[in-house]
Amino acid sequence: MKGKAAWTQPLKLLFPTAAPPGIAAMSLLGCACGLAAGLAISLLHGLIDLAQDLFREMGDSHAAFLAPLAGAVLLGLFYQLLKPRHRTTGLVHIVERVLHHQGHLPSRNAFTNLFGTVIAVGSGQMVGREGAASHLGAASGSIIGRYLELPNSTVRALVGCGAAAGIAASFNTPLAGVIFTMEVIVMEYSVMGLAPTILAAVSANAVAHVWVGSHPTLTVSSTEIESLGQLPYLLVLGAGLGLMSAWYSHSIAWLTGQMGRLPIALSMSLAGLATALVGLALPLVFADGFDNMNLALTGQLPPQASMWLGLAVLAGSSLAIASAMPGGIIMPSMLAGACLGSAFGHWGHAWLGLPVEAISLFALLGLGAMMGAVLQAPLTALIVVLELSGHTEMLFAAMLTVILAVMVNRQVSGAESIVAMLLRNRGLDFRNDPVSQSLRRISVMAAMSRNFAHADEELSLAAARELLQARPDWLLVRPEGATPYVLSAADTQHALSAAEAADKPEEATINLAKIPGDRRQCAPVHLRASLQEAWEALQSSGAEALYVERQTRHDQRVIYGILTRSALEKAYRPI
């Protein structure tokens, strides 16, 4: 990259462009991502606290509904001034950039999300702060990877490290942040990806606790199920929340299409107005989401308030997310699940004689079930329940409830998460099959042939003989004004031998475009590309091979190797 300081050169020795980093180097990069993400998230939390204080002063004037309305109008006007490509933020944006843009996250979108989430959460919109936290963490990883000019497969891994750091620091659940990244963002498990992601989550969590004075925490007061007689109630809770989560996901997808037809300033203002009106009837809506969740998890919310707050959060966050308001979807789904689970526990205690501890128990199980079903991330939800409760005894009940909710959601929603739905709404392909996973993981450097030579299309016998002395596999020919191609060196050797047998003079020429041989049209692909990108380049160009190149700081293009279709297919190994 241009303009790099001299002190950065040692970094290039540790992380050379010519090869993907090993696990030790990746672990070091994961720590760097975590530290950078932790600082960015600390800034986010501090600004949100400041914004909440400012908007609370507005609400103290006996007009509390003005805060969400004013915040939404301000956000709408700000986003209206932005170009559409700079408005996309949050979890869906991260997954889109990983799948379709090699993990390159624009810095401007991250700053937009930072400012937008501060206003949205500070003014009481029904969105979570973890969307911006994961976005800032992912952007930190992307910037580090691109600055060091690492392969795109490595950049994607660093984006996952940063996103895990954001989730871990948001909820104080480092392990859940790691599993969430593996299930939702990078969509695969590997040792090379797991080690740096764990280090990133731990680093970010530690930094956030040092710098954030009032770190949001969740308090859980629950026990394991007391008897197998409670199993039917767990089944009812899981199935019911599975249906609610499917309705929630489809509502967001449908509303996104409807509100997308409106100017973004109007759609955000309508979402803010809806939050303000709901808050007039249910003032709990205006409270901080962590505070409400703690009330539900400790059984302090009355049953009617729990039910209405859960439904209000589902409806209000659907409108907010559909209007493209910045913020996360995880927090609303967790809050709604906790409230609905708490209401279910209250009713079970009052009508069915369940112990009073069931209120807190069902609230925690509802939190995990709703989150797991909406995101189609059951393992993440189970880890969240385990980390929040601190009791392994919770796992039996949690596994039953979460998995049932996920299964019901998949049956109703067609096995798609809310992320996949929103990506498809944007007209983007959401590929998560084993072939795509494997191809995204492998760099072109691992599959290309470095044994090639540059050749002119017209060669004298002497020049051809000299060129073949190095025994290359391929000759790369890039004629002026014509399509580049590679030719098997063996075919060139046959042509040379035939010319020598015919006793042609040394100055006689061989035309590589006309001799019989294995000749394949070529297209370029970047040195940092993955095999998935290489495959897409082959498909889009119609070429039969690729030459792997990189542009230097002096605007020169250096070619490193040749990648054929057969070499690409040979490098693929099913998971």
- What does the alpha-carbon distance between residue 99 and residue 186 come to, in Å, rounded to a whole number? 9
Query: What's the confidence (pLDDT) of residue 430?
Result: 55
368: tokens are: 């995990």
Per-residue pLDDT of 8-28, as tens digits, reads 445 555 555 545 567 788 888
Cα 369 from Cα 386, distance rounded (Å): 13
Which CA distances in Å does 66 have to 117, 129, 282, 431, 499?
A: 18, 21, 15, 43, 88
In this structure, are residues 444 and 535 in contact, taking their beta carbons and an 8 Å threshold? no
Per DSSP (E only), the strands in 380-491 are: 452-455, 458-460, 474-477, 485-488
C-beta separation of 400 from 235 below 8 A: yes
Rg, C-alpha atoms of the chain: 28
Q: Is 429 helix (H, G, I), strand (E, B) or coil?
A: coil
Whether the predicted pLDDT of 510 surpasses 70? yes
pLDDT of amino acid 426 = 67
Neighbours of 161 (CB within 10 A): 39
> What does each C-alpha distance from 27 to 33, 37, 130, 450 come to in angstroms?
10, 15, 24, 28
pLDDT band for 147, please (50, 70, 90 cuts).
Answer: confident
Among residues 175, 174, 167, which one has the least CA distance to residue 206? 174
What is the Cα 69 distance to its own chain's centre?
30
Give the residue with greater pLDDT, 240 vs 512: 240
Reported pTM: 0.76
Q: In this model, does residue 167 exceed pLDDT 80?
A: yes
H or E element, residue 414: none
- Cα separation, 365 vs 369, whole angstroms: 6
Q: What is the pLDDT of residues 297-317, one digit of tens each?
A: 888 889 899 999 999 999 999
Residue-level pLDDT at 16:
54
In angstroms, the CA 484 to CA 17 distance is: 25
Tell me what pLDDT residue 436 has. Answer: 63
What integer pLDDT is reported at residue 75 of this predicted model?
93
Average pLDDT of the residues in 269-294: 87
pLDDT of residue 38: 87
Residue 223: predicted pLDDT: 59
Q: What angle do CA 134, 267, 324 make, to 5 degrees?
A: 15
Q: Is 252:418 a contact under the CB 8 Å cutoff?
A: yes
pLDDT of residue 407: 93
3-class DSSP state of 92: helix
- The mean-pLDDT minimum among 21-25, 44-48, 65-69, 286-290 falls in 21-25
What token pair was written down for 169?
Answer: 């620091």
- One-letter amino acid identity for 448? M
pLDDT at 574: 45
Residue 90 pairs in a beta bridge with none
Q: What are phi and psi of 140, to 5 degrees?
A: -60, -45
Q: Specify which residues 475 forms β-bridges with.
A: 453, 487
**Most confidently modeled range among 89-93, 106-110, 172-176, 422-426:** 106-110
Query: What's the whole-number mean pLDDT along residues 454-473?
Result: 86
User: Left, alpha or beta for 299 (phi > 0: left; psi -120 to 50: alpha)?
Assistant: left
The two tokens of residue 566 are 């057969």
Query: Residue 321: enclosing H or E segment and its boundaries?
Result: helix 303-322
- Per-residue confidence (pLDDT) for residue 227, from 0 to 100: 66
Q: How far is CA 465 from the centre of its chain?
A: 52
CB-based contact 512:475 (threshold 8 Å): yes
CA distance 490 to 472: 9
Is 415 a residue whose pLDDT tops 50? yes
Cβ neighbours around 351 below 10 Å, total: 8
Band of pLDDT at residue 2, cut at 50, 70 and 90? very low
Nearest CA-CA partner of 94 in 113, 119, 117, 67: 113
pLDDT surpassing 70 at residue 80: yes
Per-residue pLDDT, averaged over 527-540, amounts to 81
Is the predicted pLDDT of residue 564 greater than 80, yes or no? yes
Percentage above 90 pLDDT, the chain: 21
User: What is the secondary structure of 220-284 as a DSSP string?
Assistant: ------SSGGGHHHHHHHHHHHHHHHHHHHHHHHHHHHHHTTS-HHHHHHHHHHHHHHHHHH-GG
| The one-letter amino acid at 180 | F
Each residue of 349-385: pLDDT tens digit? Answer: 888 777 777 888 899 999 999 999 998 889 999 998 8
Supply the mean pLDDT for the chain: 83
* Alpha carbon distances (Å) from 14 to 25, 94, 147, 197, 474: 7, 27, 13, 19, 31
Q: Which residues, in sequence order, are bridge partners of residue 488? A: 474
**CA torsion angle 276 278 284 285 (round to 10):** -60
Q: How far is CA 477 from CA 197, 211, 519, 542, 563, in A?
A: 43, 58, 10, 18, 14
Q: Are 381 and 371 in contact (CB under 8 A)?
A: yes
